[in-house]
Amino acid sequence: MILQTRNLTLQYPGKILCSDLSLIINPGECWAILGQNGCGKTTLIHALSGLRHINDGNAPSVMVAGNALQAWSRRELGRHLGIMLQEESGEFWGNVYEYVLLGRYPHIKSMFGQDAVDRNIAMQAIERMELTSLARRPLITLSGGERQRARIALLLAQSPQCYLLDEPLQHLDLRHQLLAMALFSELARQGSALMMVLHDVGWASRFCDHVLMLFDNGRVIAGTAEEMLNRANLETLYQCNMKEFIVERARHFVPETMPGV
């Protein structure tokens, strides 16, 4: 077990986002978080990463590697959890290589900063995300998609046990969406755990083995992708009719065209 929730409840004033969520995320699992806009997907990512205060009461509601989330220092936690938010605050004025190298901070052992091993890991992450030709470019000069790939490279350099990703495919073209999802799937096969907010059910059905669905009324269901991804669940989740079709033995779901659209 890498990440666990126990009776986790999240709410905004006047709205329950999820109630009594108990979940275990194991090594090697790749989870998709699905739901409509505003249902609490981002809030859940923030809660799991410690960026949102949780009123735990008498018992911790989020556990990381067997210990309460709050028991870890931020640097120690960085060895266990890697977090990609939808938006970054502020600007980074260095180049792409310097930005990706920041991912090695939780692992630094020398008082002099990153060593040759750290620098090599950072460059490998840059190469994996097809950014080698941009490594010395200022980060702020990159396009939205290029910057998103740099953010993924930073997490790859960080090498946490569990990746918490809020819309990791935003700004990416189709080729780089596929590159990212193939990378995430490979990380899971190597023993990492991943939870990611996705809006395309096709990527979830193709690359994720578990799915968590957040409904607008605070109801949450979770299970294997095979159990969760069906027309009944998806139509209830997204409040629209869905069509299911099979391509190369893989199930895909698309919304039916609405009258007048």
The DSSP output letter for 257 is: P
Extract the tokens encoding 150.
């740099």
Of 122, 176, 131, nearest in space to 150 by CA = 131
According to the model, what pLDDT value does residue 5 have? Answer: 94
The DSSP output letter for 239 is: T
Query: Which alpha helices (DSSP H) does the chain contain, by range?
Result: 41-49, 74-80, 96-101, 116-128, 144-158, 174-189, 201-207, 225-228, 231-238
According to the model, what pLDDT value does residue 260 have? Answer: 58
From the number of C-beta atoms within 10 Å of its C-beta (0-12, 13-18, 19+), residue 57 rates as exposed
Task: Write the DSSP assignment of 183-199 as a string of letters.
Answer: HHHHHHHTT-EEEEE-S
Tell me how many domains the chain contains.
1
Q: Please enumerate in sequence order all residues whose Cβ is within 8 A of that of 90, keeping only pairs 6 or more positions apart, or say none.
A: none
Q: Is 261 inside any structural domain?
A: no
For helices 144-158 and 174-189, give the axis angle rounded to 10 degrees: 10
Q: Is 46 inside any structural domain?
A: yes
According to the model, what pLDDT value does residue 173 have? Answer: 97
Rounded to two decimals, the pTM is 0.93
* CATH code, domain carrying 215: 3.40.50.300
State which residues form the domain around 156.
Answer: 3-255
Q: Is 150 inside any structural domain?
A: yes
According to the model, what pLDDT value does residue 52 have? Answer: 84
Q: Is 122 inside any structural domain?
A: yes
Q: Is 119 inside any structural domain?
A: yes
Digitized pLDDT (tens) for each residue of the chain, 261 residues in all: 799 999 999 988 888 888 889 999 999 999 999 999 999 999 999 999 988 877 666 667 899 998 999 899 888 999 999 999 998 877 888 999 999 999 999 988 766 667 889 999 999 999 999 999 999 999 999 999 999 999 999 999 999 999 999 999 999 999 999 999 999 999 999 999 999 999 999 999 999 999 999 998 889 999 999 999 999 999 999 999 999 888 877 778 888 876 655
The pairing of strands 193-197 and 162-166 is parallel
